[in-house]
Structure 1
Amino acid sequence: MSVAPRRFTSRRAVTILLHGALVAAAVLTLSPFLWIALASLKTQIALLMGTVTFKPVAMNYSEVLFGNTSTFTRNFMNSVIVASVSTIIALGVGFLAGYSLLRMRWPRAVVNLFLLWAVVFNLVPPVTLAGAWYEVFRLVGLTNSLTAVILAHTTLHLPMALWLLSSFLREIPNELEEAAVVDGAGFVRLMRRVVVPIMMPGLVSTGILIFIFSWNEFPVALALTNNQSATVPVGIAKFAQENEIKYTQMAAASVLSAIPALLVLIFCQRFIVKGLTAGAVK
């Protein structure tokens, strides 16, 4: 009679410990973001003095958005263009390349080597490629342009798109495509009516990852841009000036720069969950 209550008590203890660990992990993860958000509402003096209780001010956001010397609005639009275009290109090329690897009659060794190259390329620090890209783009006349950053970001994130989309493509049964071909569907119709709808959660989740990585990329954008073409991370770094570091304005710009990623995650959460759990249950 006493076995059941003991089991119930042990399960409850495990559940409490698990939830406690999750809450502690959430607190540790969110603490830096909370500190930055609070710093953006302080004056520079209050932040440097470590004031705990303070009166919130909005002048940091006003200076970042409307200041005479601030270029954050231009940097924000540059990041939107770079992240959006590079994500679309990487998704399109990665999808077609993954479909070719898995559906065309390539030797198995070629497929494995190509996917292995995609993994190895992701291990290369982007900063090691920045110098070579700068020289190439200088020779072709694309120095300090958004086109150069878009091409560089597409190259950086294409291997990840190829690897992830190939994993999602493996989950699509060949019988579905064969049945569509038997019914007279051409390649374009096959992609539009069969493959892409099934792949949509994977495409969206992969696109979100690429967008966020492109939005936050710093060393390559720093090497390839100037004041006119700088992206958000480069613009935030410019608040650290020679004689002064504008911590509070840097914090305000950081909070503003996180808004697009948060909006994408909120509105596309359903696709992210489907994409991450695809193939887990059959």
Structure 2
Amino acid sequence: MRRPFSSSLMLHLALVLCALVVIAPIVWTVGAGFRTQISLLMGHMTFTPIWNNFNEVLWSKTSDFLLNYRNSIIVGVLSTLLCVVVATLAAFSLNRLKWPGWVVHIFLAWTMIFHMIPPVALASAWFTMARAVGLENTFTGLILAHATLNLPIAIWLMAVFIREVPKELEEAAVMDGASTPRVLWHVVLPLITPGLAATSILTFISSWNEFAVALTMTMKQTATVPVAIAKFAQDYEIQYTQMAASAALAMLPALVVLLIAQRYIVRGLTQGAVK
């Protein structure tokens, strides 16, 4: 049944409006990176694009942005790998092993409650624990923190994807002599590849953007990109244009990942809705 023309038009207008709301700040940020500080503060509508801000951010002797970029990639990739592995094992256990129903419900409720706590509320606790075991200002401490922060939503997503795998396939593998680890590796994981990709991408982006815990647990040599961007706000001056240039550069990994893996994200997030 076709939609009425007026309903279809309103839907498309609403989608365009939502897209503008999302895209406009990104366009403004990228544009600000090509302006001078005076031009931006004066609010000039027209300007001559310059590359000075990007050169200063990337190649200045006083800038550590490339180091921060490397740090974010290391922390993002390793925390995502750790988080997705643990989330997959936990979700498989909740769905396939014989746990009492109340245990599963309490565990999932706890994960959601933990996920609702803002990271800034946990930053001081993370720093105290990391310092107690000698992991402050280390990649290991930040990787463990980011993996833990993203674990609740990752468990929920993986639990949904694994729940959609027909149990008959696993039972057939068991009858053929497959152990539980082999069932997970050879039967379940190949069937939930889109969901696995979607969970990994969302976890990586969350780790890449995390600021509060990274600010608390890192120093100069281990600081990540969000911490580096915040440093452009100094005591007596805010370097808006360099901050915008660094923010534009910070968008690139997430943008590239989303463009390359867009179909996996869509398939993964809709896998639970369509069998």
TM-score, length-scaled by structure 1: 0.94
1:171 is aligned to 164
SS of the aligned residue for 1:280 comes to coil
* C-alpha separation in 1, matches of 2:21 and 2:86: 38
Residue pairs, 1:26-65, within 5 angstroms? 26-65=19-58
1:128 is aligned to 121
1:95 is aligned to 88
Q: 1:191 deviation in Å?
A: 2.3
Q: Give the aligned residue type for 1:276.
A: L
After superposition, what is the alpha-carbon deviation per residue over 1:172-231, rounded to whole angstroms, capped at 9, x for unaligned? 111100101112223343222211111111111011111111100000000000011100
* C-alpha separation in 2, matches of 1:140 and 1:100: 30
* C-alpha separation in 2, matches of 1:131 and 1:85: 22
Contact 2:197/2:264 (<8 A) preserved:
yes
Q: Does 1:184 align with 2:184?
A: no
* C-alpha separation in 2, matches of 1:127 and 1:27: 30
* C-alpha separation in 1, matches of 2:46 and 2:123: 44
Q: Pick from 264, 268, 272: which aligns with 1:275?
A: 268
After superposition, what is the alpha-carbon deviation per residue over 1:220-274, rounded to whole angstroms, capped at 9, x for unaligned? 0000000111000000000111121110000000000000001111111111111
- Calculate the aligned-residue CA RMSD, in Å: 1.4
Contact 2:150/2:203 (<8 A) preserved:
yes
* C-alpha separation in 1, matches of 2:176 and 2:202: 36
Q: Does 1:150 align with 2:143?
A: yes
Q: 1:29 deviation in Å?
A: 1.4
Contact 2:57/2:246 (<8 A) preserved:
yes
Q: Does 1:75 align with 2:58?
A: no
Q: Does 1:249 align with 2:237?
A: no
After superposition, what is the alpha-carbon deviation per residue over 1:130-159, rounded to whole angstroms, capped at 9, x for unaligned? 111111111211111111111111110111
Contact 2:34/2:50 (<8 A) preserved:
yes
1:85 is aligned to 78
1:215 is aligned to 208
* C-alpha separation in 2, matches of 1:108 and 1:189: 25
* C-alpha separation in 2, matches of 1:157 and 1:151: 10
SS of the aligned residue for 1:159 comes to helix
Q: Does 1:202 align with 2:195?
A: yes
2:154 is aligned to 161
Structure 1: segments with no counterpart, 5+ residues: 1-6
Contact 2:160/2:272 (<8 A) preserved:
no
Q: Give the aligned residue type for 1:57.
A: I
* C-alpha separation in 1, matches of 2:194 and 2:127: 36
1:4 is aligned to none
Q: 1:86 deviation in Å?
A: 0.5
Structure 2: segments with no counterpart, 5+ residues: none
* C-alpha separation in 2, matches of 1:68 and 1:82: 24
* C-alpha separation in 1, matches of 2:87 and 2:262: 22
Q: Give the aligned residue type for 1:168.
A: F
SS of the aligned residue for 2:4 comes to helix
Q: 1:85 deviation in Å?
A: 0.5
Q: 1:279 deviation in Å?
A: 2.6
After superposition, what is the alpha-carbon deviation per residue over 1:63-84, rounded to whole angstroms, capped at 9, x for unaligned? 0100111111011110001111
